Amino acid sequence: MAFFHRYWLCLFLVLCLSPKLEAQESYYDQRSGVEILFPSSLSIFPRQWSVKKVNPDIRPVQVEEISRLEDLLTFAFSKYPLDMLRANLDKVYVLKSMKFYGLPYGGTNYHHSVYLSDDTDNPWFTDDYIEEVFHHEFSSILIHSFPLFFDKTKWMSMNPPDFRYGKGGADAISKGLASMALDPGMIEQGFLSEYSTASLEEDINVFAQNLFTGGREFWRLVDLNDTIREKTRILISFYHKINPAFTETYFRSFYYNTAQR
């Protein structure tokens, strides 16, 4: 009889606690309906990423970080018009860390999904940094979804005549050239950071993250540097074609609103 009671007690606890455990693993953003997931399985990645060469590896996010990350992503989502966000973003997966090709990644994307790392052991992974990576990766999704809206020819014409982009993000990471911090030497050549030179897409991505999170220094560069200003305008035009709410005034408001906090 004691075993019978223990069995039903255990079943009762499982049934009562299961919804809470599921709530910790995923939730839907109230405004947009975008699903935010905190997975522990490699099944979140496309099947073609499971090959030995890519060799994906993950560590799940810490449970105590989930509430912070929910707030962070809600804030990041709020910078996009609702219909545009719903049409172009399905899921955001958040992990403590992820590796591909044996290299650590702060973020990546696939189709209409974004993957982010929240490595609490790394001091670089602040709220601001994680938000930047989200905008960085989401801009790739938009570039792939609306290729005709982006003036690639004009953008390329702004680069030095003899310049050639690198072999992509993974190659730049492997060579220790993955910094997205504003770099004076790169800025003189019309790029915001060393990572910007990894590929055309990464160049666009770094500008995009600064459009949505850039502070005083980024907008000072836009006002003073001809190439930085022109690339910024090309990218703003791209976003404006997706949704007319995106204007330079709109993007500058993110900085002014943050500065007034």
- Sequence ranges of the domains in the chain: 20-145, 149-261
Q: Which residue has the higher pLDDT, 102 or 12?
A: 102
What pLDDT is stored for residue 177 in this prediction?
65
| Distance separating alpha carbons of residues 105 and 115, to the nearest angstrom | 9
What pLDDT is stored for residue 256 in this prediction?
64
For the stretch 202-215, pLDDT in tens is 999 999 999 999 88
Lookup: tokens for 203: 């160049």
Please give the model's pTM, rounded to 2 decimal places: 0.87
Question: Taking a C-beta distance cutoff of 8 angstroms, is the pair 191, 199 a contact?
Answer: no
CA distances in angstroms from 241 to 143, 153, 236, listed in the order given = 12, 17, 9
What pLDDT is stored for residue 258 in this prediction?
56
Single out the residue of 57, 19, 20 nearest to residue 40, CA to CA: 57
